[in-house]
Amino acid sequence: MAVSLESVTKVYPNGVVALDEVTLTIADNEFAVIVGPSGCGKTTALRVIAGLEEATRGNVRIGGRVANRVPPAERDVAMVFQSYALYPHMSVYENIEFSLRMRRRRLGLSRDEMRARAREAATVLGLGELLGRRPRELSGGQRQRVALARAMARQPRVFLFDEPLSNLDARTRWETRRELKELHRTLSVTTVYVTHDQLEAMTLGDRIAVMDHGSVQQIGTPADVHDRPANRFVAGFVGTLPMNFIAGRVTADAAGERFVADAISLPLPRARFERSERADPDEWTLGIRPEAIELEPAAERTELARLRGRVSAVEPMGSEVVLGVTVGRQTVSCRSARGDRVERNQWVELGFDMSRSHLFDKRGASAARPLVWNGGPDG
């Protein structure tokens, strides 16, 4: 069942514009993630889909039909929250069954069918052994699985998840994330998942919508938003390490365009960037991920643009090392598996892969040439 928001604006009574003309289509069976910093409007978007908040303007469609006036209970969506919201005095089984019991008549289920559904959901989520326990006798991960089983037993046409894993420790979170993805593969139910954690978004989503200040900044596959960020906000928000941003200007000569900032001068690949003639040549920001800067590249890597700098920081990160290298007045970070042999104050050569660089104008918009959309659920 597809879900869409069409130019949805939500203004709370206190005047806060939580959603500003949000347009978003989630295809049938898709796993979509809405990600963004705290306060960007993610939860509001989910609550508008669930019917817990009314849109001030615009339409919510569920399965093609405008659902603005459909009460939450009739939308056939199940929501799972960060706080598991389990009933403490009920057993695991009763908690799972409860949501069905409330709707049994409307769903036209016999008592046996209701029990079978609740047991099946418990089995799928590996709760078979725990059915008699109370929530307080469970770990956080188990409680979240009960909340999931309760939502699943309803067999909704849409799952809505609001930061369901944020109360779990890192390892359980990682495991539960996998289980969720697997569950989605098995059940094939349209899923909208909200998180502030970009890594979680990247690993879970078929497509992700990055939000900031109530508006959608970019929608795309994880690779799209990582490799071709639409603007500086997305570029800075997505990625395991922060992208390097360098403010400077663009100059042109017979050999082509270059990005220049103090001691840094780097060639800009002609095929990658498109600039309006009217754009101010003096106010550009170059963006390049630490992964696109190689430490001491081999001589035959002639495609890399080289600069020398001095190591100002060495941060071990397990299998690799993140280095801060100062070139003129700028410090850029790069990552290296061999970096552990590098010491502070040492001079090193950096190889910039400019085919993976980004250029942003003073409003933050990307100057990358638009690429032909490479597929995705809605083409």
Which residues of this protein are in contact with ligand ATP, per CB under 6 A? 12, 14, 16, 18, 36, 38-44, 196
Residue 357, amino acid: S
Residue-by-residue DSSP string for 229-283? -SBHHHHHHSSSSPPEEEEEEEEEETTEEEEEETTEEEEPPTTTB---TTS-TT-
51-56: Cβ within 8 A, 24+ apart = 51/75, 51/77, 52/79, 53/10, 55/5, 55/8, 55/9, 55/10, 55/19, 56/9, 56/10, 56/11
Between 15 and 88, CB nearer to ligand ATP: 15
CA 90 to each of CA 86, 132, 133, 171, 235: distance values in angstroms, whole numbers, following the listed order: 8, 9, 8, 28, 46
Smallest gap, in angstroms, from Cβ of residue 218 to ligand ATP? Answer: 16
Closer residue to ligand ATP (CB): 49 or 292: 49
Q: How far is the CB of 36 from ligand ATP (least distance, A)?
A: 6
Which residue's structure tokens are 């459909």?
Answer: 70
Residue 115 or 196: which CB sits closer to ligand ATP? 196
If you write DSSP's letter for every residue of 281-335 in order, what string do you get? TT-EEEEE-GGGEEES--TT-TTSEEEEEEEEEEEE-SSSEEEEEEETTEEEEEE
Between the CA of residue 126 and those of 88, 97, 137, 224, what are the distances in Å?
20, 16, 16, 35
Task: Closer to ligand ATP by CB, 201 or 332: give it.
Answer: 201
C-beta of 206: minimal distance to ligand ATP in Å?
Answer: 21
CB of 38 to ligand ATP, least distance (A): 3
Residue pair 172/141 in contact (Cβ under 8 Å)? The answer is yes
Map tokens 């769903």 to a residue: 107
CB 375 → ligand ATP: shortest distance, Å? Answer: 29
Q: Which is nearer to ligand ATP, 18 or 130 (CB)?
A: 18
Q: Which residue, 180 or 209, has its beta carbon nearer to ligand ATP?
A: 209
Q: Which is nearer to ligand ATP, 22 or 293 (CB)?
A: 22
Cβ–Cβ < 8 Å for 256, 263: no
Could you say which DSSP state residue 113 is in?
A: H
CB of 68: closest distance to ligand ATP in angstroms? 18
CB of 367 to ligand ATP, least distance (A): 29
Distance CA 232, CA 196 (A): 17
Instruction: Indicate the residue among 81 and 98 with the shorter CB distance to ligand ATP.
Output: 81
